[in-house]
Structure 1
Amino acid sequence: MMKHNNPISMNTPIEGDYIYSRGVGYLAVKGVIHPPQRIVAYPKYPEHKGIITKISSIEEAYAYLRERMPEAILFDDHSGQVLPQIPIEKITRHVSAKAWFKNNRPTDEVTRLSAELAEMISRYSGIDLEAVGLTGSALLGLQKPTSDIDLVFYSMKNAPAVIDALSTMRKEGKTRPVDILHSHDIATKRSDSAVTLEDWIKHESRKLLYGTYRGVVYSAKVVPLPEEYWEPYGSAMWREFGRAVLVAEVTDDSYSIYTPNMYGIRVIEIIRGPEEGYRCRAVASFRSRFAEQARSGEVVKISGRLEYDLKSKNYRIFIGNHRDDYILRHDNTTHD
């Protein structure tokens, strides 16, 4: 396993990075904005007596943190949610994903293929390897021979070039979409979701940020820099207004490729939930699984948490923290 003995850096940890806290282990950083003096991060690779295991669901992550660091589970005034917020003083290491391929050499087949794909995308897109990161188990040196390729691309200014590169590579056959042959991989990654495997395959198979390279499954995140993020910390005070299931038209997918991601919508029908759902103009998520999930002009079915912003007076649907959350094409879904 790689050793990470550097203390937390002056650069704020963001999506794709990991932090380490004694007594908890490695936590995956979520999003690009954080409460003052804290980092939003979920336990991913807990460590106990030198043995590192893996946590696969949000529910399991919360349960583990309640046991190990209950004081870190707090209400966040910006998101209106109870989030795992790790105090800065309890973070002993910050493992940055950024520029991994510029600063490291592959040590096995997983990192070799990761570097090969990263360099190819860099070459096709023209972006510097400084803006490409390695994340997931390989960033921590915990990968197995069966591990996937997990990449991160930083900055919204690089996003169009990255997507264009991935599109060209897909057309040329350099990468391939996932299909029924990868159902086990998809089922494992989406085991905390009530969405059917059939629906996940339908949606994942058309994504450029998710596919296969030389027979190995890859996933990629496009992460905005904190100064680029469209909702600076403290600019909103979201509050839950109940759960809702809606049918809507996607009116804007320009933020759909990012993690965190957002979709502009026009609500057509409320299947379940408050009438205020008709005032929703956006769907938001912190999770990469909902990137590229829908496109402008498509009619989708959405299940999530209806939220109201006390500052802007806007409504939105938030998805990603509940197993029943989803955004699916309404004309091509088996989900009730």
Structure 2
Amino acid sequence: MDPVEGFYLEDDRGTIFAVKGIMHPNKKYIVVPRYVRSKTGERGTSSRYVKLPSSNYKLSMERWPHLKQLDPYMGIEVLAMEGDEVKKIYDPISKLDEIRKDAPTPLHEACIRLSKMLEERGVDGNRIGVTGSILLGLEKKSSDIDLVVYGFANSVRAYEAMRHLRHEELTIPIKGREGNPMRLPIEVHLAHERRKLLKGVLLLGERQFDYLLRCIPLKEEYVERYGEARHIDLGPVKLEAKVIEDKFGFLVPTRYSIQTLDCNCMDVVSYGGVICEQAKKGERVLVSGKLEKRVDVVTGRTEPEIVVDMGGHYLYDPELADTG
């Protein structure tokens, strides 16, 4: 399959970029830099790498100006690699197949165990991959299990499998307080995080491993293909709404349908998945994001949507708070 979310690409300088999303320009890949070579790096063996912070996108634009472009359909500046700029493709599915044949560490063994648990509960093993630092061979002992599942139907089965694993107490909710990209009050953040099934702690006897599972639809399955619509920025927006549909709320990209207090209906979207599993159908939520007008390039039909992906953006149920 073509590189999408979960894949990584390496350029001729050895910089490793994460592929973002499933909608990409023709013969290009929208990326963010993740690892750069450094003599003082703490990761890697033959080549040493430093991991870059995922939040400083502005700095990435300045450091890799040759990749910067204004996307004519998304209406934002992105970093995009041409196909001939890619010197190596890191494929999550191929890497997991490799680990199945040789799991050199307990972390690798845990990846195999979790993937087998998914397969035993109906998930197609040929559509499961390992991503993140393990995919790149840059993991540390403290690294998380980072799996991806591709395809909508397969993702539905994976989500149900994770529900069963939580019910069987083979996984437990996350324990830590780190990772609050929406900058929510800590008790609200923890309450939302601890009910999520796609992130948590995998229990393997006396060993415990933090895990993250991302469910990625195929690009032909997604509600929009690249170039079908233009997105026009209408500025920031904050509102209260009711979630009326959450069937795509566990996927990356993530999408919810909401109804505002004045009965307007629209979608809330996160291309990076920051609101994955963040809300459930029927909940009343507070939303902060970028209001866009989506214009179909063929019919001219317009509809509003809210993008929640940047610092200061959020979606959450204010009534949900952790008191433990």
TM-score by length of 1: 0.86
1:294 is aligned with what amino acid?
A
2:315 is aligned with what amino acid?
I
How many residue pairs get aligned? The number is 305
Mapped pair 1:200 → 2:189: yes
Aligned positions of 1:170-189 closer than 5 A? 170-178=166-174, 181-183=175-177, 187=178, 189=179
2: CA distance, partners of 1:265 / 1:304: 14
Mapped pair 1:152 → 2:145: no
SS at match of 2:18: strand
Cα shift at 1:95: 0.4
CA deviation profile, 1:271-293 (whole Å, cap 9, x unmatched): xxxxxxx7451000112331111
Mapped pair 1:92 → 2:87: yes
1:170 is aligned with what amino acid?
R
Counterpart among 31, 35, 38 of residue 45 in structure 1: 35
SS at match of 2:34: strand
1:139 is aligned with what amino acid?
L
Counterpart among 247, 252, 273 of residue 288 in structure 1: 273
1:81 is aligned with what amino acid?
I
Cα shift at 1:65: 4.4
Counterpart among 251, 254, 269 of residue 244 in structure 2: 251
2: CA distance, partners of 1:83 / 1:64: 10
Distance 1:64 1:23, change over 3 A: farther
Contact 1:102 / 1:129 at 8 angstroms: preserved in 2? no
**4+ residue stretches of structure 1 with deviation over 6 A?**
none
TM-score by length of 2: 0.89
2: CA distance, partners of 1:34 / 1:257: 21
Q: Which moved more, 1:294-303 or 1:70-79?
A: 70-79
2: CA distance, partners of 1:129 / 1:101: 10
2:109 is aligned with what amino acid?
R
Identity %: 28
Contact 2:258 / 2:268 at 8 angstroms: preserved in 1? yes
**Aligned-residue RMSD, C-alpha:** 1.8
Cα shift at 1:175: 0.7
Identify the residue that residue 44 of structure 2 maps to in structure 1: none
CA deviation profile, 1:223-242 (whole Å, cap 9, x unmatched): 01111111101111001101
Counterpart among 5, 12, 20 of residue 30 in structure 1: 20
Counterpart among 1, 4, 7 of residue 14 in structure 1: 4
CA deviation profile, 1:179-203 (whole Å, cap 9, x unmatched): xx422xxx2x33x543233322111
Counterpart among 51, 56, 62 of residue 53 in structure 2: 56
Distance 1:245 1:220, change over 3 A: same
Identify the residue that residue 326 of structure 1 maps to in structure 2: 314
Counterpart among 219, 238, 252 of residue 226 in structure 1: 219
For structure 1, the residue ranges without an aligned partner over 5 or more in a row are 1-10, 270-277
2:149 is aligned with what amino acid?
F
Contact 1:248 / 1:266 at 8 angstroms: preserved in 2? yes
Identify the residue that residue 302 of structure 2 maps to in structure 1: 313
Contact 1:280 / 1:314 at 8 angstroms: preserved in 2? no
Contact 1:17 / 1:95 at 8 angstroms: preserved in 2? yes
Contact 1:24 / 1:65 at 8 angstroms: preserved in 2? no
SS at match of 1:228: coil
Mapped pair 1:111 → 2:108: yes
